[in-house]
Amino acid sequence: MSKRRMSASTPSRLSFPSVDVSRRGFLSGAAVLGGVSLLAACGGSDSGSSSSINTSNVDPQAANGLTAIFGPGGKTGGSEVTLSAGMLLAMTGQGSFFGKVMSQGAQLAAAQIKAADGITYDVHVADHKSGDVPTAIAATRQLITQEKIKILQTSYGAPSEAIVPQIAQSKLLSFNGGGSSPGQVGKDFLWQTRMIFGDDPCPGALAWVAKQFPDATKLAIVGTQENGVAGASTIGPAAWKALTGGTVVANEQHDVGATDFSSIVARIKSTSPDAILTFSFGDDVGYLVKQMREANVTVPIIGIEFTEQAAKVAGASYDTYNFATDFYDPANPNPWNKIFVKGYQDSYGEAPEYYGANYYEEVFFVWELVRRVLAAGGDATDTTQLQNSLVENPTFKSLYGGDAKSTGEVTFNPADHTISKPMGVFSVTNGQPKKIADIVKISADADPTTALVS
């Protein structure tokens, strides 16, 4: 997700009630699941102070399960290590849903790791107001100067690209699990824990469309200037021509946060496409699909994201939508995922989705790096040593993939700081996704048919 200025009137100070935590009634907000400081979005002196991590809400069986997977706690598990960690999220504005679930994922991880006698991961949440770049820069500065953070979990493309100089200068070991974009690739200390949004799954998505609808030759594309730009402008058109010999008959763009797609729908309908590829995200794709179907545009629509929020916006029409991405499946039986799902449901009263999963997983990446540095006799609070350990061994356990007996695995690319993880094509039935094909990342010059595995 890479959203820019969504609203000039969004609040400048965030609080957990503003992201629906108070309505869930799970104890008292941030104190339950981590040492959480709430920061003003644009700096100032009103940042909160971090509280001690409260592990009383963590199931003891979860702690036991985690040590069985990751190794024992205690000194070798980092019990004497404290890391101040920042989160730069959309806590207010159009994308506040994303900030809510991302922060919940990280806070749960912090509490579970502490309960397993691991590191103390003190979380400080800052608000970039759903992608406002000046706010993101100021909020990051505040995290660095006031909270002395060494780890950063960032989100969205534009804000994350804007803070690249701050990340490098302060040597913040940083992860983005929400909005990977080309401008973040290969940046020192910044690592992507999602496939590049839109671009990586695009060839596999179109290969699936071409296989399922062999007579399709005319493709319409809908997107924004925020995400999947290369997918819309070069990757998608080239893959479609190679797959079908066809052409792109429309390539429309809209503002992030759009709810009225009537003009775009009319223009696309006039071109009589055989299929539609959309790089829209968030609620936008829900409005797009709904209005396409209301206008009797019946051709297949494939996108690159799914959220339950968008499914609610689209209603029954979302059952005609397919998407391709590195999608997280809460029903995955891998043992670590089962611990995560139960902990998330117990703490927040709802099932997790992939943004919460990604930011939960990132905290465990840090814990693993701490373990490695300690085992080598190093300083586990030195972010250069942590990053060097990642480069030396870029493979980590994952909530993605695996089976009932083993966790999945993901692997970073030390050359460009991207990640490889399972991807798939998914259908939607009764508002819920189901994987129907496996796809993989391919190089720019590869045959796009090779992106579709099954």
Residue 437: phi and psi, rounded to 5, are -160, 155
Helix and strand element counts for the chain (H, E)? 16, 16
17-31, 121-135, 358-372, 429-443: least confident range:
17-31
| pLDDT at residue 57 is higher than 60 | yes
Q: Under a CB-based contact definition with an 8 Å cutoff, are residues 223 and 232 in contact?
A: yes
- Separation between Cα atoms, residue 181 and residue 197, nearest integer Å: 6
Residues 229 and 301 in one domain: yes
Instruction: List CB contacts of 279: < 8 A, sequence separation 6 or more.
Output: 198, 221, 222, 223, 224, 227, 228, 229, 231, 232, 303, 304
Residue 7 inside a domain? The answer is no
Does residue 394 lie in a domain region? Answer: yes
Residue 154 main-chain phi, psi, to 5 deg: -105, 175
- Does a structural domain hold residue 10? no
* Same domain? 142 vs 190: yes
Domain contains 271:
yes
Q: What is the CATH number of the domain that holds 351?
A: 3.40.50.2300
Structural domain total, the chain: 2
146 plus 186 within the same structural domain:
yes
Q: Are residues 180 and 263 in the same domain?
A: no
The confidence band for 42, taking pLDDT boundaries of 50, 70 and 90, is very low
**Is residue 8 included in any domain, yes or no?**
no
pLDDT of residue 227: 81
415 and 428 in a common domain: no
Q: What is the pLDDT of residue 276?
A: 98
Q: What confidence tens digit (pLDDT) does each residue in 412-447 have? A: 999 999 998 888 999 999 999 999 999 998 988 999
**Cβ atoms within 10 Å of 96's Cβ, excluding its own:** 21
The pLDDT of residue 35 is above 80: no
Quick one: average pLDDT of 39-50?
Answer: 40
By the 8 A CB rule, do 37 and 47 touch? Answer: yes
- Is 5 within the bounds of a domain? no
Domain that holds residue 404: 16-195+332-419
- Residue 365 sits in the same domain as residue 396: yes
Beta strands in 117-186 (DSSP E): 120-127, 151-154, 173-176
41 and 184 share a domain?
yes
Report CA 294 to chain centroid distance, whole Å: 30
For a pLDDT cut of 90, what percent of the chain falls above it? 77
The pLDDT, as a whole number, for residue 326 is: 86
**273 in any annotated domain:** yes
Residues 37 and 107 in one domain: yes
Residue 6 lies in a domain: no
* 92/155 same-domain check: yes
Query: What does the pLDDT look like over 204-260, one tens digit per residue?
Result: 999 999 999 999 999 999 999 878 999 999 999 999 999 999 999 999 999 989 999
Are 74 and 56 part of one and the same domain?
A: yes
pLDDT score, position 2? 38
Region of poorest pLDDT, from 162-171, 297-306, 322-331: 322-331
pLDDT at 327: 81
pLDDT band at 5 (very low <50, low <70, confident <90, very high): very low
332-345 as b/e: b if 16+ CB within 10 A: bebbbbbbbbebbe
**What are the tens digits of pLDDT across the range 103-147?**
999 999 999 999 999 999 999 999 999 999 999 999 999 999 999
- What is the DSSP-derived secondary structure letter of residue 424? E
Task: Compute CA 22 distance to the chain's CA centroid, rounded to the nearest angstrom.
Answer: 24
* Strand pairing class (35-38; 419-420): unpaired
Q: Are residues 359 and 392 in the same domain?
A: yes
407 and 428 share a domain?
no
Mean pLDDT of all residues in the chain?
A: 88
End-to-end Cα spacing for the chain: 28
